[in-house]
Amino acid sequence: MSATDPSAKDPMAAKPVPLVTADTRAFWDACAEGVLTYQRCAACGHVQFPPRPFCTECRAAGPVTERSAGLGAIHSFTIVHRAPTPAFKADTPYALALVDFDEGFRLMVNLRGCPPSDARIGLRVRVLFEPLAGGGALPQVRPLVE
Amino acid sequence: MTPVISGVADTAVGRLDGSGCMALHAEAASAALADAGLRADEVDGVLCAYSLAEPHLMLSSVFNEYFGISPSYSAAVQAGGATACALVMQAAALVRAGICRNVLAVCADNRLTGLGRNGAVAALAEVGHPQFERPYGMSIPAAYALVARRCMFERGVTAEHLAAISVTQRGHARRHPKAQARDPLTMEQALSARMIADPLRLFDCCLVSDGGAALVISAADVAADRTDHAVSILGYGQMNTHEHAFAMPSLTDFGCRQSAAQAFAMAGLTPADIDVAEIYDSFTITLLAELESIGFFPKGEAGPAILDGALELDGVLPCNTHGGLLSYGHSGAAGGMFHIVEAVRQLRGEAEARQVAGAETAFVHGDGGILSAHCSLILGRA
């Protein structure tokens, strides 16, 4: 953490950045390249997220990393009016959603590219990547315009 | 040896200026031991939870040292809102196995004065996944709002159903002299309160409190010797389905279904046999979803029943008769323990202005995380 990092003084002043682990480094590296990935078990076909070195269904080692088309639908959403920390206060109200991607995995994201009030269960969305302070990118979604 | 609840106690709850986490633990523990007719040196098992205001890696050891006891068995359990019920389940197993004769289960935190409301909201948000939730600004109310929105979509839950829960429980709290929130609350106030995470408004969310509670779980022969008010532990069960909001297997059906089914099977009872229920209510939607998952009401019918008065003291299922986390108070793991203390008081006929007439069986449920960890208890008048 550098001296100019505002979070060095107050951990609540900056938005948390993903704490990358050995399990997730490949996922975040792909995000930095604008690619959303997930895992599929070569043995049983089970789709899982987040990445880990085994299949949670059949326990086989080494699920395969696959590239998602980045299309999905909102399973549920909320519009956050009361931020969890001061870092998110300027963003309120913002839409937080669980999105089911077409390949069969779920991500929590913010809905971008429209007013939060446009959020609907079932709304079709497409992934986008927001640059993160300090490098990398965070997957988000916006409404899919067919 | 059959385990029973031989003693219960709670401290004051709310804003307790000058309170400390360990002092609240000790106050609750001393009072519960007195209620059980036991000396501190007769405790051979101690179960604690966790503290946000004064966190420590080994909270039960910190408590034992502070309280001045040296139990032969001691552990701290962390299962969020399921912790208090899980402590009873573990204590009962320890007594049943002959490992302990008197287990003290004690929970307390000084969240309100130690962290403040903003600090507590921020500290709780840290349970979000560090990579896949926290960077998106997920608060705990937001996670439960995702559940509420989906329940509205699938089950026809309405804002009025949720408001009826907070209004009903405020009515109960107004009959409890120790409750933190005792101002009158109307449906109109609840439905127009400021939005926290749509569709959850201010009164859909639990309080932030200082306070503590303690229970003593003893072998039945010890309790018979020392008290005349032991309460039977008829059944218990647990289920653990996930931890994080994005990993919920369902947003409308939860592990309380299985934990309650285990408890009912063990007790040889059904939901229709329950006289009073004390069910975790971190948010109004928590209670509503659990009432349907457990089977107290068919899918989609809890909301209309609650609007019709089902959870009132003379309703079909008097529920959260102390006011619950929404109006009585919520100081961490002790919040879930207040539900157990209230169930015991109802079964002992000590609930005064909020007594459910003739209460002989009580169902208690706690859930932690985002409806992740579940523990159910069924208690009975001895």
Contact B113, B15 (CB under 8 A): yes
**Could you give the CA distance from residue B345 to residue B337 in angstroms, rounded to a whole number?**
12
Which among B188, B161, B177 is positioned nearest to B305, based on CA atoms?
A: B161
A25 touching chain B per CB within 8 A: no
**Could you give the CA distance from residue B260 to residue B295 in angstroms, rounded to a whole number?**
9
| Angstrom distances, CA of residue B312 to CA of B188, B260, B275, B342 | 19, 22, 12, 15
Which among B44, B46, B25 is positioned nearest to B90, based on CA atoms?
A: B46
* Rg of chain A in Å (alpha carbons): 17
Considering only residues 47 to 66 of chain B, which have any Cβ-Cβ distance to chain A shorter than 8 Å? none
B265: CB partners within 8 A, 6+ apart: B235, B237
Mean pLDDT confidence for B193-218: 98
Contact state of A96 with B121 under an 8 Å Cβ cutoff: no
Domain boundary among A67, A102, A121: A67
Contacts of B245 in chain A (CB under 8 A): 98, 108
Q: What pLDDT score does A6 carry?
A: 43
* B136 → closest Cβ in A20, A93, A109: A109
How many CA within 13 A on the CB side of residue A141? 32
Residues A81 and A142 in one domain: yes
Contact state of A98 with B246 under an 8 Å Cβ cutoff: yes
In a domain, A2, yes or no: no
Q: How far is A146 from chain B (nearest CA, A)?
A: 25
Contact B78, B29 (CB under 8 A): no
A40-91 pLDDT per residue, tens: 999 999 999 999 999 999 999 999 999 999 999 999 999 999 999 999 999 9
Which among B219, B267, B285 is positioned nearest to B364, based on CA atoms?
A: B267
Residue ranges of the alpha helices (H) in chain B? 21-36, 59-67, 83-96, 111-125, 140-155, 159-173, 187-192, 220-226, 256-267, 284-294, 302-307, 324-327, 333-347
Mean pLDDT confidence for B4-17: 97
In a domain, A75, yes or no: yes
Residues A31 and A78 in one domain: no
B350 touching chain A per CB within 8 A: no
Residues A111 and A130 in one domain: yes
**Could you give the CA distance from residue B62 to residue B38 in angstroms, rounded to a whole number?**
21
Residues A146 and A75 in one domain: yes
Residues A27 and A74 in one domain: no
Domains and CATH numbers, chain B: 3-113+209-230 (3.40.47.10), 124-205+232-381 (3.40.47.10)
Q: How far is B370 from chain A (nearest CA, A)?
A: 14
Residues A88 and A45 in one domain: no
Residues A57 and A73 in one domain: no
Helices (H) and strands (E) in chain B, counts: 13, 11
pLDDT at A7 over 60: no
Mind giving me the DSSP string for A65-132? Answer: EEE---EEEEEEEEEE-S-SSGGGGGG-SEEEEEEEETTS-EEEEEB-SS-GGG--TT-EEEEEEEEP
**Could you give the CA distance from residue B33 to residue B349 in angstroms, rounded to a whole number?**
20
In a domain, A9, yes or no: no
In a domain, A79, yes or no: yes
Domain that holds residue A36: 21-67
Q: Is B328 a catalytic residue?
A: yes
Q: What pLDDT score does A10 carry?
A: 61
Contact state of B197 with A94 under an 8 Å Cβ cutoff: no
- Within a 10 A sphere around the Cβ of B10, how many other Cβ atoms? 29
A54 touching chain B per CB within 8 A: no
pLDDT at B15 over 70: yes
Contact state of A107 with B134 under an 8 Å Cβ cutoff: no
Contact B206, B286 (CB under 8 A): no
Contact state of A15 with B122 under an 8 Å Cβ cutoff: no
**Could you give the CA distance from residue B172 to residue B307 in angstroms, rounded to a whole number?**
15
Interface size A-B, in CB pairs within 8 Å, comes to: 110
Residues A107 and A140 in one domain: yes
**Could you give the CA distance from residue B209 to residue B13 in angstroms, rounded to a whole number?**
6
Residues A41 and A109 in one domain: no
Which among B99, B51, B105, B46 is positioned nearest to B75, based on CA atoms?
A: B46
Which among B107, B131, B121, B84 is positioned nearest to B374, based on CA atoms?
A: B84
- What is the dihedral angle through the alpha carbons of B148, B149, B151, B157, rounded to the nearest 10 degrees? 80
B97 touching chain A per CB within 8 A: no
Q: What is the pTM of this model?
A: 0.96
**Could you give the CA distance from residue A132 to residue A18 in angstroms, rounded to a whole number?**
9
| Test mutation, A20, A46, A108, chain B, max B CBs within 10 A | A108
* A98 → closest Cβ in B130, B141, B146: B146
Residues A52 and A122 in one domain: no
In a domain, A5, yes or no: no
User: What single letter denotes the amino acid at residue B358?
Assistant: G
- Which helix (DSSP H) or strand (DSSP E) does residue A31 occupy? helix A25-32
Which among A68, A64, A69 is positioned nearest to A51, based on CA atoms?
A: A64
Considering only residues 185 to 214 of chain B, which have any Cβ-Cβ distance to chain A shorter than 8 Å? 194-200
Q: Is B280 a catalytic residue?
A: yes
Contacts of B136 in chain A (CB under 8 A): 96, 108-110, 138
Which among B78, B1, B10 is positioned nearest to B278, based on CA atoms?
A: B10
In a domain, A61, yes or no: yes
B156 touching chain A per CB within 8 A: no
B85-135 pLDDT per residue, tens: 999 999 999 999 999 999 999 999 999 999 998 898 888 888 899 999 999
**DSSP helix/strand/coil, B301:** coil
Contacts of B127 in chain A (CB under 8 A): none
Contact state of A108 with B121 under an 8 Å Cβ cutoff: no
Residues A99 and A34 in one domain: no
A75 touching chain B per CB within 8 A: yes
B332-357 pLDDT per residue, tens: 999 999 999 999 999 999 999 999 99
B112: CB partners within 8 A, 6+ apart: B14, B15, B16, B120, B208, B209, B210, B331
Q: What is the ipTM of this complex?
A: 0.95
**Could you give the CA distance from residue A146 to residue B32 in angstroms, rounded to a whole number?**
65
pLDDT band at A12 (very low <50, low <70, confident <90, very high): low
Q: What pLDDT score does A1 carry?
A: 35
- What is the dihedral angle through the alpha carbons of B35, B41, B43, B48, rounded to the nearest 10 degrees? 90
Domain boundary among A12, A39, A67: A67
* B131 → closest Cβ in A18, A75, A85: A18
In a domain, A12, yes or no: no
A83: domain CATH number?
2.40.50
Residues A76 and A143 in one domain: yes
In a domain, A125, yes or no: yes
How many structural domains compose chain A? 2
Mean pLDDT confidence for B323-335: 97
- Which helix (DSSP H) or strand (DSSP E) does residue B208 occupy? none
pLDDT at B364 over 50: yes
Q: What pLDDT score does B332 carry?
A: 94
Which tokens hold the place of B243?
């931890």
Contacts of B289 in chain A (CB under 8 A): none
Domain boundary among A67, A101, A123: A67
